[in-house]
Amino acid sequence: MTSASRLGDRRWLVRLAWATLLANVGIVLTGGAVRLTGSGLGCPTWPRCTDRSFTPHDALNLHSAIEFGNRTLTFVLTVVAIATFVSAWQSGRRELRRLALLLALSVPAQALLGGVTVLTDLNPWVVAFHLLFSMGIISLAVLYLWRIDTPAPAESEQPATLSALAWTTYAAGWVVLALGTVVTGSGPHAGDAKAPRNGLDPLQISQAHADAVFLFVGLSLGLAIALRVTGSPAARVAALLVVVELAQGLIGFVQYFTDLPIVLVELHLLGAALIASVMTWTLLEVREGRQRRSSMTTGATRDVFSS
């Protein structure tokens, strides 16, 4: 068997899918570090770092090093995205190829969006969309990981009411994430001392964000209970989503009442990435979990008899 064909095997598909997911979570965290250390304009232009060079060199300081370091991670994402696409192509599965192509195209799209962020002097609305776009990529990476073992079904396995509740919970999660970026745009961590704020009242927008969180947790808890009552194994994943939400909410409240220390804000960013991941997995588990378990059991049986 050639190395090219091995790259299309399930083992490599899964490895590279996890690498894609973790790399995109990592870029969220390093991007957060750029903003929280006030290094957003450490490289004041784009695509170069300075007017004369793609690297800081003469203008090197802590802020430029942090910002340039975040930019160089794009090359890591590029390598992972290319490897993921090649693996998907070698698998011969059209659905994986499409998803891997979208993941690969997201890298230059995210880089261009980062450039717009710098060229607009960290406009808070552009920064917010930049983060939301990353969350969307994380959700897409989870879908790609799921599709390795579970082809898309024609319809949901669950009754229409449970499927609708799962979709509503997922949508509420995105409302929470979106409002969280708006809260950030009204707060103190602008990424640079001269960067503008969105002009909204931090107290009012934080209250709206908190209200959305309560709705999200309530929907998730209702989904977990409904799944438990119906005996669905998806109840465990929905319960995990509730636990992640409660932990994220605790961090959010503590950071708000302690004047947003950067360590807690960075943890809150990690929590947002986990929320995007787990709520996507929960939706897929509710809609397609039985098919996934069946296909994985069939695949394991086939592997045993072929060995």
Q: Are 197 and 270 in contact (CB under 8 A)?
A: no
Closest CA to 282 of 173, 135, 176, 175: 173
pLDDT, position 8 = 82
What secondary structure does DSSP assign to 246-288, as a single string?
HHHHHHHHHHHHTT--HHHHHHHHHHHHHHHHHHHHHHHHHHH
Residue 233 has pLDDT above 70, yes or no: yes
Predicted structure pTM score: 0.88
pLDDT, position 1 = 45
What dihedral do alpha carbons 139, 144, 146, 149 form, nearest 10°?
180
Closest CA to 244 of 169, 306, 301, 184: 169
As a whole number of angstroms, the distance between CA 80 and CA 67 comes to 21
Q: What is the pLDDT of residues 176-217, one digit of tens each?
A: 999 999 998 887 765 556 677 778 888 899 999 999 999 999
Q: What is the pLDDT of residues 249-277, one digit of tens each?
A: 999 889 888 888 888 989 999 999 999 99
pLDDT, position 188 = 73
Token pair listed for 284:
């897929």
Residue 153 has pLDDT above 80, yes or no: no
**Average pLDDT for residues 19-36, to the nearest whole number?**
89
Token pair listed for 276:
């995007």
Which residue did the predictor score with more confidence, 291 or 270? 270
Which residue did the predictor score with more confidence, 137 or 35? 137
Residue 159 has pLDDT above 80, yes or no: no
Residue 17 has pLDDT above 90, yes or no: yes
As a whole number of angstroms, the distance between CA 299 and CA 265 comes to 42
pLDDT, position 44 = 67
Query: What is the number of other CB atoms lying within 10 angstroms of the CB of residue 184?
Result: 27
Q: Are 103 and 20 in contact (CB under 8 A)?
A: yes
As a whole number of angstroms, the distance between CA 71 and CA 288 comes to 37
Query: What is the number of other CB atoms lying within 10 angstroms of the CB of residue 16?
Result: 24
Give 100's pLDDT tier (boundaries 50, 70, 90).
very high
Mean per-residue pLDDT over the chain, rounded? 85
pLDDT, position 261 = 86
Domain ranges for the chain? 1-148, 154-302
**Average pLDDT for residues 216-229, to the nearest whole number?**
96
